[in-house]
Amino acid sequence: MASLDDLKKRITSVKSTQKITKAMKMVAAAKLKRAQDSAEKGRPYSEKMNNIILNLSSGISDKEAAPKLLSGSGKEQVHLCVVLTSDRGLCGGFNANIIKKAKSYFAKLNKEGKELKIITVGSKGNDQLKRVYGNKIIENISFKNSKNVNYFDAEKVGKIVIEKFEKEEFDICTIFYNQFKNVITQIPQAQQIIPLNTKSDDQNNSEDNYEFEPDEDEILSNLLPKNISTQIFKAMLENSASEQGARMSAMDNATRNAGEMVDKLTIEYNRSRQAAITKELIEIISGAESL
């Protein structure tokens, strides 16, 4: 059995860990509020963008001449996967979930004999993927220095993706991120952004007769690159809200566990203290009796 001193030390150390996790939980809660706000505020933009593109693509006359970003390069050989993760750890299963989703997708591609290229955004994803897929990672982007998610960062990623597409380095691009559902649940998502998935819901689309200035093709070719950045931005916003949510619940759990541990250790401490006292008393009494 551990000595009294050892137990005391352990209790203090668990308590100070608990203080840290508690503080981290509070910070995450405050950040979550902000991240959730900006995720909500960012939604109208990407929704409107999507609507306009749907309207445009349904109105486009010649499918063959459609921009490549919309129709794809006609092949499906090389896949580019953009894996969005966080830069910081201690957020529960947040990164692990994305990586798991991505890895199962990679395995599927491997089986089908497709070529794979990976761009990681966020250092945690890079750390985990480089062990197995190190030679597939063609770029690692990290926004450690940006305080909040902002559009220009997303645009940078978007530009890299588009540049590579124009050089025909890949045919299909998929982004992986966590969608924020609530604090406890984050759903890992795989979303294909090139070629764009234009499964329209077919509601009143055909009735809108738009006038286009200049013509559809030109607007589309201008709009699609922007849409890529917008989708990435949306994913980044969702991701940052998810990250804070995951961290909050992870830290909440850690705080609770630390509390339980302190309780258990305190009981053990008290017991051994009592045992020591009883032992001393017995010694004194039996000493007195023997006299």
Q: How near is the Cβ of 59 to another protein at its closest, in Å?
A: 9
CB 119 within 8 A of CB 138: yes
Residue of 69, 156, 92, 151 lying closest to 121 (CA atoms)? 156
Crossing angle of helices 94-111/123-133, nearest 10°? Answer: 30
Residues sharing a CB contact under 8 Å with residue 194, sequence separation 6 or more, in sequence order: 69, 72, 80, 161, 165, 172, 173, 228
Q: How near is the Cβ of 237 to another protein at its closest, in Å?
A: 9
Q: Is 87 in the site for another protein (CB under 8 A)?
A: no
Nearer to another protein, 73 or 221 (CB): 221
How far CA 184 is from CA of 88, 245, 247, in Å, comes to 18, 7, 10
- Ranges within 210-229 binding another protein (CB under 8 A): 210-214, 219, 222-223, 226
Q: How near is the Cβ of 154 to another protein at its closest, in Å?
A: 7
Q: Which of 17, 55, 142, 205 binds another protein (CB under 8 A)?
A: 55
Strands in 78-84's sheet, in edge-to-edge order, are: 137-141, 115-121, 78-84, 172-180, 186-194
Nearer to another protein, 112 or 211 (CB): 211
Nearer to another protein, 54 or 109 (CB): 54
Q: Is 33 in the site for another protein (CB under 8 A)?
A: no
Nearer to another protein, 62 or 211 (CB): 211
Residues sharing a CB contact under 8 Å with residue 189, sequence separation 6 or more, in sequence order: 101, 176, 177, 178, 179, 235, 238
Residue of 103, 152, 162 lying closest to 128 (CA atoms)? 103
- Ranges within 178-217 binding another protein (CB under 8 A): 208-214
Residue of 194, 201, 236 lying closest to 67 (CA atoms)? 194
Q: Which of 103, 151, 198, 268 binds another protein (CB under 8 A)?
A: 151
> Which listed range, 41-49, 123-131, 175-183, 241-249, lies at the site for another protein (CB under 8 A)?
41-49
Q: Of residues 11, 66, 91, 258, which has the active-site annotation?
A: 91
- Ranges within 233-252 binding another protein (CB under 8 A): 233
Residues sharing a CB contact under 8 Å with residue 177, sequence separation 6 or more, in sequence order: 84, 98, 188, 189, 191, 235, 236, 238, 239, 242
> Which listed range, 132-140, 149-157, 242-250, 256-264, lies at the site for another protein (CB under 8 A)?
149-157
C-alpha count within 13 angstroms, C-beta hemisphere, residue 245: 21
Residue 81 annotated in active site: no
> From residue 258 to residue 277, what is the string marking binding to another protein with x (rule CB under 8 A)?
--------------------
Residues annotated as catalytic (active site), given as ranges: 91
The residues that touch another protein, with contacts defined as CB under 8 A, are 38, 41-42, 44-46, 48-49, 51-52, 55-56, 150-151, 154-155, 208-214, 219, 222-223, 226, 230, 233
